[in-house]
């Protein structure tokens, strides 16, 4: 009879132990793209763009960590045993195929995607690979971390006021109301609280402000943590928006100066982020 740990053990025997590099952030506009560029330009690893299916949606389908398999598995087996004995009119709420096999099938999707990334990276000459990721659905991301604990990550976070200003320039429709601003603040707080609790031997935490102000002090720590080089040139270029021409397939880059939020929206943004915003040393500024 499979136990949760046996499900994961069998998947790791089949697909190997995935060990991606993760560049993590509690929201967009925190600097994850800057770190992605710095790693990619150095040439020792390939860091891919966001894949929310892999890191949130597919793990979210599990409906919880694999530790919740047993109660459902027992109920499903009891119903199926009764059904095949002839009680076909039973309450079918718990009538389910082999539930442990089903949960393994769901979890295997994440392992298959990880193995796909590994193989694709190897074909292009990269032994090490990873992704940048800004958390949108924390329950799914928590399951991802549970499934693939062999990651090594850098979390970069930024003053929420500056995040809001950058968002206002790039996606003003996402901050159209005070309620939207409060939700962004709440998500920044909850996601960052979780990231700060990750095992520090695997997850290095960096403030964006420190990284861009003193890159020569912060870069060596990132390099030592990840075991690979970063390009210093990446920190000399300011990019916060991209263009893409579908007719030619050409991509472009630009920099758009941040825009201030209206006072009521700024207040709502910061209200959603309390008390963490003040606890980690930030103070509101216009």
Convert the pLDDT of each residue in 12-46 to its tens digit.
999 999 999 999 999 999 999 999 999 999 999 99
What average pLDDT score do residues 209-231 get?
A: 96
Mean pLDDT of the chain: 91
User: Tokens in use for 139?
Assistant: 């329950």
Residue 100 has pLDDT above 80, yes or no: yes
User: Tokens in use for 82?
Assistant: 């009764």
- The answer to whether the peptide bond before residue 275 is cis (omega within 30 degrees of 0) is yes
Residue with tokens 């060596």: 220
Contacts of 157 (CB under 8 A, 6+ apart): 25, 26, 30, 192, 195, 205, 206, 207, 208
Residue 240, judged by CB atoms within 10 A of its CB (0-12, 13-18, 19+), counts as middle
Greatest distance between any 2 Cα atoms in the chain: 73
pLDDT at 1: 46
pLDDT at 6: 83
What digits encode the pLDDT tens for the residues 237-281?
766 556 555 565 656 555 677 788 999 999 999 999 999 999 999
Contact present, 173 and 41 (Cβ < 8 Å): no
Query: Nearest to residue 35, comparing CAs of 51, 22, 18?
Result: 22
Contact present, 121 and 18 (Cβ < 8 Å): no
What average pLDDT score do residues 225-241 get?
A: 84
Higher-confidence residue: 142 or 243?
142
Residue 2 has pLDDT above 80, yes or no: no
What average pLDDT score do residues 181-188 get?
A: 97
> Rounded to two decimals, what is the model's pTM?
0.89
Contact present, 45 and 129 (Cβ < 8 Å): yes
Q: How confident is the model at residue 56 (pLDDT cuts 50, 70, 90)?
A: very high
For residue 113, the tally of other CB atoms under 10 A from its CB is 17
Residue 98 has pLDDT above 80, yes or no: yes
């Amino acid at each position: 009879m499979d136990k949760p740990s046996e499900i994961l053990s069998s998947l790791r025997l089949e697909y190997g132990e995935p060990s991606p590099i993760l560049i993590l952030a509690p929201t967009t506009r925190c600097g994850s793209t800057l770190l992605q560029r710095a790693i990619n330009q150095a040439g020792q690893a390939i860091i891919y763009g966001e894949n929310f299916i892999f890191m949130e949606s597919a793990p979210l389908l599990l409906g919880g960590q694999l530790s919740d398999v047993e109660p459902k598995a027992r109920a499903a087996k009891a119903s199926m045993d009764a059904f095949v004995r002839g009680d076909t009119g039973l309450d079918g709420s718990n009538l389910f195929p082999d539930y442990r096999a089903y949960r393994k099938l769901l979890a295997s999707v994440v392992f298959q995607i990880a193995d796909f990334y590994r193989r694709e990276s190897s074909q292009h000459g990269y032994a090490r690979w990873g992704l940048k990721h800004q958390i949108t659905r924390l329950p799914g991301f928590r399951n991802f971390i549970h499934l693939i604990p062999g990651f090594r990550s850098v979390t970069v976070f930024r003053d929420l006021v500056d995040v809001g200003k950058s968002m206002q320039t790039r996606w003003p429709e996402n901050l159209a109301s005070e309620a939207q601003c409060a939700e962004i603040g709440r998500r920044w707080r909850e996601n960052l609280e979780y990231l700060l609790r990750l095992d520090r031997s695997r997850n290095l935490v960096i403030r964006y402000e420190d990284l861009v102000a003193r890159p020569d002090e912060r870069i060596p720590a990132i390099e030592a943590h990840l075991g690979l080089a970063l390009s210093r040139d990446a920190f000399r270029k300011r990019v916060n928006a991209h263009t893409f021409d579908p007719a030619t397939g050409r991509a472009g880059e630009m920099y758009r100066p941040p825009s201030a939020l209206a006072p009521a929206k700024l207040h709502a943004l910061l209200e959603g982020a309390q008390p963490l915003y003040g606890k980690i040393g930030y103070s509101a500024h216009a």
